[in-house]
Structure 1
């Protein structure tokens, strides 16, 4: 038979048609995908599976934890062969905590909703993080997050704006009533991991913090919509904790606590663990948080925080812009902080620093372990309807130094605070700041603009690959 015979050509056409359907077979179940959608990831995956192939049901009632576990366990064999992606199609998928693996993508299609179980038994118990010595809520252990992983490399949680719904209301109620003795689960937490990506999904009603990368390196968090009632308990948006090389960009957050909180351990535990959060980019953030900060540095900062660059920030009806929180006993440092192009509307404070944030892990902290706060730069900021421009409070005998403010215009509320600036134990310079700052922040005509580094950090030079995820027929 000739290689170009009509019969052979017909066979080739037939084979191509079959492959265009992307037939995926697992354990005797055939799933047809007639098209694909694209997404960006650290790496693309050679192997794909739908969670439905493992018995999952998207009816909002069936508990699918075992189906997810079975799927991930089966896909783990492909880690060394191009990795794998688990596809969650449209539907409501009730589940308890899920542990992910390396070289893996969890992809949530549009209209896919992972519903967190409201049964505490569906969340395993973990020991406290070593840099904290306790849970964030209680001295005992902590519940494992809805999406969790430890000691991973190249892990991606992404989608076409699919949703994780933490159904956190019962957790908030129990926490406030002191009916649980362990710390509530977060929505997403990765520990001791590198090449972590969380992108293009919606996070709703987290029981506790939303996104908590801890002891991680090379982290990209982008395109998230994070929503929680502003009265909800401790629903921080994004909390990089003792992490290096982090990029947080293009996120929209409505929160019952800080929209972004940069952390590095607590008191003597964080000092001993000694792992700072450094080289952080925050860009294109919109924040609503009437009771907390747009960006908080601390209060858990006992491993140190340095080289944070925040730009193009919008804060609306939020308590403060960038807040530095520390206290005696924290030790370590917050230094080399650079903030520019911030737009604010309806704020209690613009600038807020305090060295008297008094919560502690236990009584074992060293009150002589004083934090070093230095080289804090703010420039090109505008605000409307502000109650108090600045409350800056260092520690007696431990002055907060190197504060710089330039080109800042603050419009006051109709009934502002009688004292516009309250400054103690701080020192720095200002240029073109209105209303006139306190005397400890001296006007310096030689200051044109406060510093903002123009070099690119390594995480900002990472180019994600364009990948494809199959769509169910």
Structure 2
């Protein structure tokens, strides 16, 4: 019965005027207007079983089983499909290529261990961070397939520690000394370890790996070690199931479905060291009809991430990630629990996230982009999210994304970007029509941060029923049509509770805040207007609002 979740009830409980934003400019979609949640088709397989042992595989951790496993997969597919069984054992292997109608089943007491011999991974034309790029072949890959799966309860280990560069600031002194003693080389500033000179050289190469006209794969050989593969890449595949397996220690991203349709991730565990650079859990890129449920992520970068290509290449592809359900998942360490962007140039829409928990992530709900991306992210429905010990923002929208860690390292200083207005073009990204409700967060640096572009504000975001304990409250910059209903900001010393800069049509209803607050609102910027506060007791603040930096007193209206 759980699988046949009553989506009608779920939809109807949302957003009847979870915010009839009193500005009158934005009416949230009615339940009957919202697109129906997708029905995700799952693969079905014949019961025929092909044991890799029958193809000469040896589970002793020494024998290289690449050819044996690939023969079993090819044989299974050619005979109409079935199950390729990886039984008990430690199975050392090079790259594995999946085939249609094959379920690669890894038993509980089996470890599929990918070799650290880089020569086993040929350079191929692939995709990296939303752009066509040369990469090393992924440990597991498949393209233009249908009816495929990886199931079981065993472990798939990508051998990623042999590939990754590591920042000194992310290790203890003893860990750093052991790493340096293991080989490789250290950067000139002594702050980053590289596994080889080739990897170091690649780090100094502009647009390393990006496919350039007139170049062949051989032209990238000298920086081969830098072109880390994602552990699993599935491209343009239909009816895909990943279930039960632990995917760990990936060289770069852990799981990367690209342009796939009818994709199910269920009961998986994606695990990477917390310092793993680009060590994302799952990056769903330009996919349609996706279910991610009952899974756990504990990784070095974003946990569950939605993407759709980068800049012009993503816009040219023009394939949004759409019709997505993310439910009943837990994310431990990650840069973000649930994330959209920053490579979202093809757009994202009709995404439903509910009943998830984020524990110790840098940011909870993270939506990021930057100028040049283009693309529209819209119709995002988020409900019943629990968070604790969030290092940065509980909820973040930022259109000034820079490729740095979301939380500054000790001693690191960052300046806010300068506000410059640019013309709106196809390269201007958009975030709009988000509905976020029933959020509980115990511990964050900041409750909510919304930062749009002056030429393209973040628009039409409805927050409802949120209790967030944070050191800082809510900040909106270049935002339009934002509502906060029944929001409680809990902290000992938040001053001011709300900061609004060049933001318009902002509504607060049933806002509660800490006792003896010194200042409730700060409003700045000449574009700030239409700020309305109602059904809120403002008497608990020593000062209700401060108007500065070009804002007008008429920008904010307090009513009972």
**Deviation (angstroms), 1:134:** 4.1
Structure 1 equivalent of residue 48 of structure 2: 47
Tell me, in whole angstroms, the C-alpha distance in 2 between the residues paired with 1:101 and 1:43. Answer: 14
Deviation by residue 1:382-406 (Cα, 9 ceiling, x = unmatched): 0112211122111111001011100
Distance 1:131 1:227, change over 3 A: closer
Alignment of 1:238-387 (within 5 A): 238-289=282-333, 292-347=335-390, 348-358=392-402, 368=425, 369-387=427-445
Tell me, in whole angstroms, the C-alpha distance in 1 between the residues paired with 2:131 and 2:444. Answer: 38
Alignment of 1:22-421 (within 5 A): 42-79=43-80, 83-129=81-127, 132-135=130-133, 141-159=134-152, 161-173=153-165, 177=194, 178-179=199-200, 180=202, 181-182=223-224, 183-289=227-333, 292-347=335-390, 348-358=392-402, 368=425, 369-412=427-470, 416-417=471-472, 420-421=473-474
Structure 2 gaps, min length 5: 1-40, 166-183, 185-191, 203-222, 405-422, 490-496, 511-531, 534-560
> What is the TM-score of this pair, normalised by structure 2?
0.66
Deviation by residue 1:294-321 (Cα, 9 ceiling, x = unmatched): 0110100001011110001101111111
Tell me, in whole angstroms, the C-alpha distance in 1 between the residues paired with 2:78 and 2:398. Answer: 50
Q: Secondary structure at the match of 1:63?
A: coil
Aligned-pair RMSD on alpha carbons?
Answer: 2.4
Tell me, in whole angstroms, the C-alpha distance in 1 between the residues paired with 2:272 and 2:402. Answer: 26
- Asked if the contact 1:97/1:124 (under 8 Å) is kept, the reply is no
**Deviation (angstroms), 1:358:** 4.1
Distance 1:429 1:272, change over 3 A: same
- Asked if the contact 2:94/2:114 (under 8 Å) is kept, the reply is yes
Distance 1:252 1:130, change over 3 A: closer
Tell me, in whole angstroms, the C-alpha distance in 1 between the residues paired with 2:74 and 2:483. Answer: 57
- Asked if the contact 2:42/2:262 (under 8 Å) is kept, the reply is no
Deviation by residue 1:75-114 (Cα, 9 ceiling, x = unmatched): 22212xxx22110001010111100110111001111110
Structure 1 gaps, min length 5: 1-39, 136-140, 361-365, 448-473
**Deviation (angstroms), 1:421:** 2.6
Tell me, in whole angstroms, the C-alpha distance in 2 between the residues paired with 1:119 and 1:396. Answer: 50
Asked if residue 432 in structure 1 is aligned to residue 489 in structure 2, the reply is no
**Deviation (angstroms), 1:222:** 0.8
Tell me, in whole angstroms, the C-alpha distance in 1 between the residues paired with 2:114 and 2:66. Answer: 10
**Deviation (angstroms), 1:359:** 5.5
Distance 1:341 1:130, change over 3 A: closer
- Asked if the contact 1:216/1:242 (under 8 Å) is kept, the reply is yes
**Deviation (angstroms), 1:328:** 1.0
Q: Secondary structure at the match of 2:283?
A: coil
Structure 1 runs of 4+ aligned residues shifted over 4 Å read 436-440, 444-447
**Relative CO higher for 1 or 2, CA cutoff 8 Å, sep ≥ 6?**
1
Q: Report how many aligned residue pairs link the two structures.
A: 389
> In proportion to residue count, which structure has more strand?
1
Tell me, in whole angstroms, the C-alpha distance in 2 between the residues paired with 1:236 and 1:370. Answer: 26
Distance 1:109 1:41, change over 3 A: farther
- Asked if the contact 2:102/2:147 (under 8 Å) is kept, the reply is yes
**Deviation (angstroms), 1:46:** 3.9
> What is the TM-score of this pair, normalised by structure 1?
0.78
- Asked if the contact 2:424/2:456 (under 8 Å) is kept, the reply is no
Distance 1:176 1:249, change over 3 A: farther
Structure 2 equivalent of residue 442 of structure 1: 507
Tell me, in whole angstroms, the C-alpha distance in 2 between the residues paired with 1:329 and 1:185. Answer: 26
- Asked if the contact 1:308/1:337 (under 8 Å) is kept, the reply is yes
Distance 1:230 1:370, change over 3 A: same
Tell me, in whole angstroms, the C-alpha distance in 1 between the residues paired with 2:144 and 2:256. Answer: 14
Tell me, in whole angstroms, the C-alpha distance in 2 between the residues paired with 1:393 and 1:43. Answer: 45
Tell me, in whole angstroms, the C-alpha distance in 2 between the residues paired with 1:146 and 1:129. Answer: 15
